[in-house]
Structure 1
Amino acid sequence: MHEASLAGGVLQLVEEAARNECFSRLLALRLEAGALAGVDVRALRFALECLAPGTLLEGARIEIVEPPGRAWCLACSQTVTIGQHGDACPSCGSYQLQVTDGMELRVLDMSVNDD
């Protein structure tokens, strides 16, 4: 389960931000995990909850936004929504798709308390 290592990376980012920005408490964390990023969002949330005790994540509200996968179809020149890599274009059936969105895994923003 690579979500545990992803959660560890998120914690490191939060801790680094706390050092750089001098905040003492994380109130909320908003992540983006695109549909094509290969992340099991439930497993990531569980891993973050397991890491939380005794860290800046403890007590923070964690939101994970899941944008859909989107691709440009070379055959019909349309941007289409896809559920997974290897899907055909829902408009024309072509497999000539260039993924444009939905592969991201990133921290969108944090609400903090600098007390």
Structure 2
Amino acid sequence: MAIYPVGQALQPPVDRFNGMNALYNIVSMHELSIAASLVESAEQAARRAGAQRVTQVFLRLGALSGVAKDALLFSYDVAAAGTLLAGSRLVIEDVPVVVHCEHCRRDVTLPGIQDFRCPICGQPCAQIIAGRALEIAGIEIEVEDQAALQPAT
């Protein structure tokens, strides 16, 4: 087993689930499309690395990404079915919102996404430093020959 760095931001999702109307009522289509894009990107990286199977996918998910974490976790299993990622685990790292406070002249982490005021001085902050992430940080894969494992380019 090996951890394979991917470091790939997800592209706008492609809808590969046309005709699955039963799921439309259960899962947000937004998250299902994102899960499909995530699976497609991770599977491409796994194939480039010579993987037989993906056991874990590590995702960085920003508080401002617009993605519902629970819906994405549910959608992931549906999207992964029939791929190298079938049965794998999606591990999500929550990325908080970090803004730059012009008044304090430093980057600060916000306690939530409702108020974009510096938690130190109370001044409004307009410059977002972090919190929009939707990125595959890496994948854990199984390969037949560990010597064949090479990072993707």
TM-score by length of 2: 0.68
Residue 68 in structure 1 maps to residue 82 in structure 2:
no
Q: 3-state DSSP class of the match of 1:79?
A: strand
In the alignment, the residues of structure 1 paired with residue 81 and residue 66 of structure 2 have an alpha-carbon distance, to the nearest angstrom, of 26
Give aligned pairs, total: 115
Query: Which stretches in structure 2 are left out of the alignment for 5+ residues?
Result: 1-27, 145-153
1:88 match? 117
How far off is 1:41 after superposition? 0.8
In the alignment, the residues of structure 1 paired with residue 70 and residue 120 of structure 2 have an alpha-carbon distance, to the nearest angstrom, of 31
Aligned 8 A contact 1:89 1:97 in 2: no
Identity rate of aligned residues, in percent?
34
Moved over 6 A (4+): none
Q: CA RMSD in A?
A: 1.6
1:97 match? 126
Query: Which stretches in structure 1 are left out of the alignment for 5+ residues?
Result: none
Aligned 8 A contact 2:99 2:125 in 1: no
How far off is 1:107 after superposition? 0.6
In the alignment, the residues of structure 2 paired with residue 103 and residue 13 of structure 1 have an alpha-carbon distance, to the nearest angstrom, of 19
How far off is 1:39 after superposition? 1.4
Output aligned runs, 1:1-115, within 5 Å.
1=28, 2-82=30-110, 83-84=112-113, 86-115=115-144
In the alignment, the residues of structure 1 paired with residue 60 and residue 46 of structure 2 have an alpha-carbon distance, to the nearest angstrom, of 20
